[in-house]
């Protein structure tokens, strides 16, 4: 039976390794989802924020008197009000240093700006009213007097001291890191036969989750501040709110219903969440805010935004001798802990990727500008790093004359080197990178490209072939997870995990793992997520949900079954060793004496068999892949069409192939978006965002592809760091697609007589940008 064509009867009997339909989908398709905005408590109040129209200005005064007097207004609060009430400021930096071992700096980030605004869209005041329209009207009546200050949005200008965002950092460098041996790298470059240099931009991106940020807060009957919100990390939100509002953690509860996408953008608490929670606590009434799309574009964390000067040194035979990088990461107006750690540490962890690079000299600087802060976005540092090394590898092939596949083959880390410690001290437990590439070449019919190239040329198109071989780090280095398992008398096995659903199908995958252990139909399994009362945990980020959460659930279920076996032995007056278990039933071997699992639960004092379990995996996982694509470039318009895309992905053991394929292909589409379309743009002179809506920001659509993805999952090299053997998968496609597509366009230009343009390619590769590049080359 095909794994993709299970009959309804078969669905209930299969656990992991099968493409079981998602248990989440029926309710969503019937409109029965429960998103934050679907929750409508009585006496609910609505929120509107007053936001800065300036990229940089001093707040002279805020006059909210007229707003407070308007119909329906329950509360107006300014930054000064929150400061006076004792609301603390948002955390910044993360312990990183500046040059000379000086402490890292960033201006403290207020929940509501009260002295200075530092980016367009920064919240200045909050209005709470009976209706959303009343809140909006009152917000518009608030008069804020600003004194404009010089601003800067370009990272290169920022480090030159054009305008300082923080008095302690006139060069706007919040923090920096150095890794490697600069002298040894200098010597390697001096003796190198080939040196390639590229200036590369990983442009700023918007996360664009289908559901915007949303939060509802109220004081529950037990007197606690309670929130339902669209977030990936309810425990983290609870901790931040507790710290900033001066409440004890037990005074707070955070719950999560359905979440319409996160992509990293919904990790942790935002200033808006804190301000709204404070208002709800003060008013003792439910208060709700749902962001408008325009608010998301200017105030949610953006991703990427790194400028890198990259250099690679190679011996005559193509062996890599050293890698040297200097990156300026635009972390926006406030150097948030997430924004810093992604660019100063996590990205560097994977910078050498699947290649055996002996020497590195890395210099990363986190630079503040008058733009929205950056944070996690699908891949979080790894797409930036892999894009850099893969662009370098293709450029090195062109410069050295060595075939790019052979160049990769000569520099792969070999299986016998595992476990392998890379120059950043990160240990890869397993990996067969050449094996994965060989599968990718066959799947893409690499050797048959010349015939397809000729067909495109006959139609007046440039055709290019791109490849990316790469790995990524997953787990978030939050390697411990707690779960609870309850066998209930009503015939249900209820499990709780602190990992979180956000559209990725995690509940289905967890349920399959429970079926593996207990052998019961899936409709007997109830997965509970997103409630800090049920358990604390890191949440879902860094592709860790199955890697850590699934491993914990599998072990917790096994321990629960063993406890049930012990109880069954007592009930049946038999030894544990004499019991057989199958499909929810214990039986004394060789007899007809038996007890049903759920009947056994009913006999217990609490009417259930309950176990709480904590599992720690041994280390991160290192999924890897080979992505290959073909593009056609129209030389008359610069339009790029992706005409073939295939990938082989080493993701370890696969629990649900359909869900994994959806993650891989969905991620790849986002990677294509970065390569070809997407970019958050600020006007260099005014500091105003000019991509503030979907009329201005180009997101990938179905017509971007002129082909179907051909996706293969390689399960032959399971991860050794967790009991399931799984590797994180949620971000892998995003990481591989971007360099794969750009390398394909570079190849198309080179084959079309524009080889000199390949090093000059900068994302996004929009038609006008490519056309201008080719026309300029022709004119020159």
Query: How many residues make up the chain in this entry?
Result: 780
Q: Which tens digit of pLDDT belongs to each residue from 406-434?
A: 999 999 999 999 999 999 999 999 999 99
pLDDT at 8 over 60: no
Select from 385, 384, 374, 379 the least CA-distant residue to 337.
374
Is the peptide bond prior to 764 cis by the omega test (within 30 degrees of 0)? Answer: yes
- What value does the CA radius of gyration of the chain take, rounded to a whole number of Å? 28
Which residue carries 């409440």 as its tokens?
A: 247
User: In this structure, what DSSP letter does residue 584 have?
Assistant: T
Above pLDDT 70, what percent of the chain? 98
Whole-number pLDDT of residue 777: 65
* DSSP secondary structure of 614-682: EEE-SS-B--EEEEEEEEEE-TTT--EEEEEEEEEEE-BS-S-HHHHHHHHHHHHHHHHHHHHT----B
Average pLDDT of the segment spanning 130-153 = 98
Q: How far apart are CA 389 and CA 362, in angstroms?
A: 13
The CA angle 396-401-402, to the nearest 5 degrees, is: 75
* DSSP secondary structure of 367-387: EE-SSPPB---TTTTHHHHHH
pLDDT at 4 over 60: no
Average pLDDT of the segment spanning 272-285 = 98
| Residue scoring higher pLDDT (744 or 5) | 744
Strands, E, within 450-561: which ranges? Answer: 462-471, 480-488, 493-497, 525-529
pLDDT at 7 over 60: no
Q: What is the distance of C-alpha 522 from the center of its chain?
A: 29
Model confidence, pTM: 0.95
Whole-number pLDDT of residue 512: 95
Strand partners, 218: 226
Q: Under a CB-based contact definition with an 8 Å cutoff, are residues 253 and 238 in contact?
A: yes
Average pLDDT of the segment spanning 489-507 = 91
Q: Which tens digit of pLDDT belongs to each residue from 17-49?
A: 888 999 999 999 999 999 999 999 999 999 999
Q: Which tens digit of pLDDT belongs to each residue from 582-603?
A: 999 999 999 999 999 999 999 9
429-474+620-779 CATH: 3.30.365.10
> CATH: 3.90.420.10, 3.40.640.10, 3.30.365.10, 3.30.300.130. Which one for 8-32+476-616?
3.30.365.10
For residue 233, what are the contacts with CB-CB under 8 A and spacing of at least 6? 266, 267, 268, 500, 538, 539, 540, 541
Asked if the domains 8-32+476-616 and 153-207+301-382 are classified in one and the same CATH topology, the answer is yes
Helix ranges, 24-164 (H):
25-29, 65-68, 79-84, 132-141, 155-159
Which residue carries 């290649």 as its tokens?
A: 355
Q: Under a CB-based contact definition with an 8 Å cutoff, are residues 175 and 93 in contact?
A: yes
Query: Cα-flanking dihedrals φ and ψ of residue 533, to 5°?
Result: -70, -30
Assign a CATH topology to domain 153-207+301-382. Aldehyde Oxidoreductase; domain 4 (3.30.365)
Q: What is the distance of C-alpha 155 from the center of its chain?
A: 23
pLDDT at 716 over 50: yes
Q: Where are the domains of the chain?
A: 8-32+476-616, 34-149+211-298, 153-207+301-382, 429-474+620-779
Band of the pLDDT at 476, cuts 50, 70, 90? confident
Q: Under a CB-based contact definition with an 8 Å cutoff, are residues 431 and 418 in contact?
A: yes
For β-strands 252-255 and 194-205, DSSP reports them as unpaired
Q: How far apart are CA 88 and CA 107, in angstroms?
A: 14
Q: How far apart are CA 654 and CA 647, in angstroms?
A: 16
Distances (CA, A) of 384 to 243, 342, 416: 33, 10, 28
Q: Under a CB-based contact definition with an 8 Å cutoff, are residues 275 and 347 in contact?
A: no
Band of the pLDDT at 364, cuts 50, 70, 90? very high
Residue 763 in tokens? 């994302």
Strand partners, 215: 229, 289
User: In this structure, what DSSP letter does residue 3 have?
Assistant: T
Whole-number pLDDT of residue 779: 52
Q: What is the mean pLDDT of the chain?
A: 94
34-149+211-298 CATH: 3.90.1170.50
Band of the pLDDT at 755, cuts 50, 70, 90? very high
Number of H helices, E strands in the chain: 22, 28
Whole-number pLDDT of residue 780: 44
Above pLDDT 90, what percent of the chain? 89
Whole-number pLDDT of residue 501: 84
Q: Which tens digit of pLDDT belongs to each residue from 522-573?
A: 999 999 999 999 988 777 777 777 888 889 999 999 999 999 999 999 999 9
Average pLDDT of the segment spanning 758-778 = 92
């Amino acid at each position: 039976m095909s794994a993709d064509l299970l009959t309804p009867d078969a669905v209930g009997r299969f656990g992991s390794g099968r493409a079981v339909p998602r248990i989440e989908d029926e309710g969503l398709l019937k409109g029965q989802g429960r998103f934050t905005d679907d929750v409508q408590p009585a006496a609910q109040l609505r929120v509107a924020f007053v936001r800065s129209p300036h990229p940089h200005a001093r707040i002279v005064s805020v006059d909210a008197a007229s707003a407070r007097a308007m119909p329906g207004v329950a509360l107006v609060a300014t930054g000064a009000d929150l400061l006076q009430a004792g609301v603390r400021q948002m955390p910044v930096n993360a312990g990183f240093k500046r040059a000379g071992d000086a402490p890292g700096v960033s201006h403290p980030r207020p929940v509501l700006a009260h002295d200075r605004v530092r980016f367009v869209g920064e919240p200045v005041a909050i209005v709470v009213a009976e209706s959303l329209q009343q809140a909006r009207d009152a917000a518009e009546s608030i008069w804020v007097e600003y004194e404009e200050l010089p601003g800067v949005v370009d990272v290169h200008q920022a480090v030159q001291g054009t305008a300082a965002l923080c008095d302690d950092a006139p060069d706007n460098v919040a923090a920096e890191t150095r890794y490697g041996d600069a002298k040894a790298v200098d010597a390697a470059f001096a003796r190198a036969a080939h040196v390639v240099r590229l200036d590369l931009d990983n442009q700023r991106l918007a996360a664009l989750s289908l559901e915007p940020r949303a939060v509802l807060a109220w004081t529950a009957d037990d007197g606690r501040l309670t929130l339902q919100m669209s977030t990936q990390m309810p425990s983290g939100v609870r901790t931040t709110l507790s710290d900033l509002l001066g409440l004890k953690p037990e005074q707070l509860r955070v719950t999560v219903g359905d979440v319409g996408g996160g992509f990293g953008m919904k990790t942790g608490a935002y200033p808006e969440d804190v301000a709204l929670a404070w208002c709800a606590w003060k008013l003792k009434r439910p208060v709700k805010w749902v962001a408008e799309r325009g608010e998301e574009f200017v105030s949610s964390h953006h991703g990427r935004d790194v400028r890198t000067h990259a250099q690679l040194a190679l011996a005559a035979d193509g062996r890599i001798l050293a890698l040297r990088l200097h990156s300026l990461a635009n972390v926006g107006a406030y150097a948030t802990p997430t924004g810093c750690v992604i660019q100063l540490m996590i990205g560097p962890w994977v910078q050498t990727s699947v290649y055996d690079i002996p020497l590195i000299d890395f210099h990363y600087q986190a630079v503040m500008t008058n733009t929205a802060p950056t944070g996690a976005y699908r891949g979080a540092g790894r797409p930036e790093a892999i894009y850099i090394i893969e662009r370098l590898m293709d450029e090195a092939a062109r410069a050295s004359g060595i075939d790019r596949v052979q160049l990769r083959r000569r520099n792969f880390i070999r299986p016998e080197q595992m476990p392998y410690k890379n120059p950043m001290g990160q240990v890869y437990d397993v990996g067969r990178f050449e094996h994965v590439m060989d599968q990718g070449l066959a799947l893409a019919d690499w050797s048959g490209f010349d015939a397809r190239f000729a067909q495109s040329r006959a139609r007046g198109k440039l055709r290019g072939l791109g490849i990316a071989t790469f790995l990524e780090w997953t787990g978030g280095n939050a390697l411990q997870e707690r779960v609870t398992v309850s066998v209930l008398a009503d015939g249900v096995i209820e499990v709780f995990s602190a990992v979180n659903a956000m559209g990725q199908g995690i509940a289905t995958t967890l349920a399959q793992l429970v079926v593996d252990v207990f052998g019961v139909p899936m409709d007997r399994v109830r997965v509970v997520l997103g409630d800090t009362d049920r358990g604390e945990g890191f949440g879902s980020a860094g592709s860790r949900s199955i890697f850590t959460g699934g491993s914990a659930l599998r072990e917790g279920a096994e321990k629960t079954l063993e406890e049930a076996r012990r109880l069954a032995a007592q009930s049946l007056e038999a030894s544990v060793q004499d019991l057989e278990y199958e499909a929810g039933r214990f039986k004394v071997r060789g007899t007809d004496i038996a007890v049903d699992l759920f009947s056994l639960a009913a006999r217990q004092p609490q009417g259930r068999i309950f176990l709480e379990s904590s599992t720690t995996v041994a280390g991160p996982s290192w999924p890897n892949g080979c992505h290959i694509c073909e593009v056609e470039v129209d030389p008359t318009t610069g339009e790029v069409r992706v005409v073939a895309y295939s990938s082989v992905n080493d993701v370890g053991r696969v629990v649900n192939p359909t869900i994994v394929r959806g993650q891989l292909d969905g991620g790849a589409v986002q990677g294509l978006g970065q390569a070809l379309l997407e970019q958050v743009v600020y006007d260099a002179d005014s500091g105003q965002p000019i991509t503030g809506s979907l009329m201005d920001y180009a997101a990938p659509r179905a017509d971007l592809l002129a082909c179907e993805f051909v996706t293969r999952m390689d399960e032959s090299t399971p991860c050794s760091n967790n009991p399931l053997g799984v590797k994180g998968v949620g971000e892998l496609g995003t990481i591989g697609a971007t360099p794969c597509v750009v390398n394909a366009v570079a190849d198309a230009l080179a084959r079309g007589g524009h080889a000199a343009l390949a090093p000059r390619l900068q994302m996004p590769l929009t038609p006008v940008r490519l056309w201008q590049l080719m026309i300029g080359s022709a004119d020159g």
